[in-house]
A = this chain, B = another copy of it.
Amino acid sequence: MHAADVLTESIGRSGSIACVGLDPRPSLLPDKLKQRALDAHGPSAEAVAAAFVEFNLAIIDAVASKCAAFKPQVACYEAYGAAGWEALVATIAACHDAGVPVIADAKRNDIGSTAAHYGEAYFDGSVGLDGARLPGLGTSWLTANGYLGSDGITPMLDAAGDGGGVFVLVKTSNPGSGELQDTAAGDATVAATMAGLVDAWGADRLGACGLSDVGAVVGATYPTEARAMRERMPNAIFLVPGYGAQGGGADDAVAGVRAAGDGIVVNSSRGIIGAWQKDGTQEWAAAAADAVDAMNADLGAALART
């Protein structure tokens, strides 16, 4: 099934355009959970990995029916080496068991066979010593950095096959994103030039829903740019970071929506998985579910205003 159709179907199933960022860090874990993992594994990467899995699986169970997608931030897992990678594998498997598409936020980039290798890791797996394919992570989407041009993106799309897609960084949500991205370039800016590439890469890759499996990362913190980017990428799904903790409001987050009311998913990470830290309990999954409900209401009202 085409990656854009998978995401569109998931939005229909959940009635939500929310993407829940699974970005576990020791500082976001309740003490009781940390202590259990330390007791079992000692102060080790294995302890961190075990705590991440327990933390994530409870959240996935609590919010799977309320969100369109999960987005694990790969850096959080890679920071703990092989044990961290196993935690990523277990997290993604739980997302799949819950029937929710996964966007692996890895921002990978390289060229040729190396870019293909990254794609294989996240989609259908790499070839082993006997020439047979080994299991990959089986994600629906992978985030990528397009600075290297088509030589970096096309091999990932080839590795994605029929069921995978790539979100390319276009206009990111951080305060310093403009240092390069807002530089005047071509007929507008560097980000606009990247948007043109994204549109070209995805032009012939539309699903039944009319959206492409080459999407764009467009931050909630720059709504004016988001509307301009929609002109340049009419068929791209926008993955929108920066809502909530980074300062973007709901109206800003949905600024890039298409006239038909589709074409965006809005991410929140800390605002969901760290919600338990605000209410004084250590019931992280219940707090995450409440936070997703609030996010859905907030985004739904903003969509109704567009």
If A114-B23, A117-B76 touch, does A148 touch B126 (CB 8 Å cutoff)? no
Residue contact B129 to A151, C-beta cutoff 8 Å = no
- Among A169-177, A227-235, A277-285, A288-296, which stretch is in contact with chain B? A169-177
CB-CB under 8 A from A180, the residues of chain B are 146-149, 190, 193-194, 197
Tell me if A216 is interfacial: C-beta within 8 Å of chain B.
Answer: no
**Interface code A165-206, partner B: CB below 8 Å = 1, 0 otherwise?**
000010011111111110111100010011001000000000
CB A7 to nearest CB in B, in angstroms, measures 22
Tell me if A132 is interfacial: C-beta within 8 Å of chain B.
Answer: yes
A-B contacts, 6 of them at CB < 8 A, read A81-B85, A107-B110, A148-B169, A148-B176, A150-B179, A180-B190
Residue contact A128 to B45, C-beta cutoff 8 Å = yes
Tell me if A297 is interfacial: C-beta within 8 Å of chain B.
Answer: no
- What is the chain B residue whose CB lies nearest that of A186? B183
CB-CB under 8 A from A236, the residues of chain B are none
If A79-B118, A129-B38 touch, does A183 touch B179 (CB 8 Å cutoff)? no
Residue contact A79 to B120, C-beta cutoff 8 Å = yes
If A43-B128, A107-B108, A121-B81 touch, does A174 touch B149 (CB 8 Å cutoff)? yes
Interface residues in A146-168 (C-beta closer than 8 Å to B): 146-152
Tell me if A237 is interfacial: C-beta within 8 Å of chain B.
Answer: no
Interface residues in A36-81 (C-beta closer than 8 Å to B): 37-38, 43-45, 47-48, 51, 73, 75-76, 78-81
Tell me if A247 is interfacial: C-beta within 8 Å of chain B.
Answer: no
Interface residues of A (CB under 8 A from B): 23, 25-26, 29, 34, 37-38, 43-45, 47-48, 51, 73, 75-76, 78-83, 85-86, 89, 107-115, 117-118, 120-121, 126-132, 134, 145-152, 169, 172-181, 183-186, 190, 193-194, 197
CB-CB under 8 A from A177, the residues of chain B are 148-149, 151
CB-CB under 8 A from A134, the residues of chain B are 43-45, 48, 80
CB A235 to nearest CB in B, in angstroms, measures 19
**Interchain CA distance A119-B172 in the complex, whole Å:** 20
Q: Which 7 A-B pairs have the closest CB atoms?
A: A185-B185, A149-B179, A149-B176, A79-B126, A82-B82, A151-B174, A151-B176
Q: Known contacts A44-B134, A82-B82; can you find 19 more A-B pairs with CB under 8 A?
A: A25-B113, A38-B130, A43-B132, A45-B134, A73-B114, A75-B108, A75-B110, A76-B117, A78-B117, A80-B126, A107-B108, A145-B145, A145-B147, A147-B172, A149-B177, A151-B174, A180-B190, A184-B185, A190-B190
CB A45 to nearest CB in B, in angstroms, measures 5
**Interchain CA distance A172-B115 in the complex, whole Å:** 14
**Interchain CA distance A148-B175 in the complex, whole Å:** 9
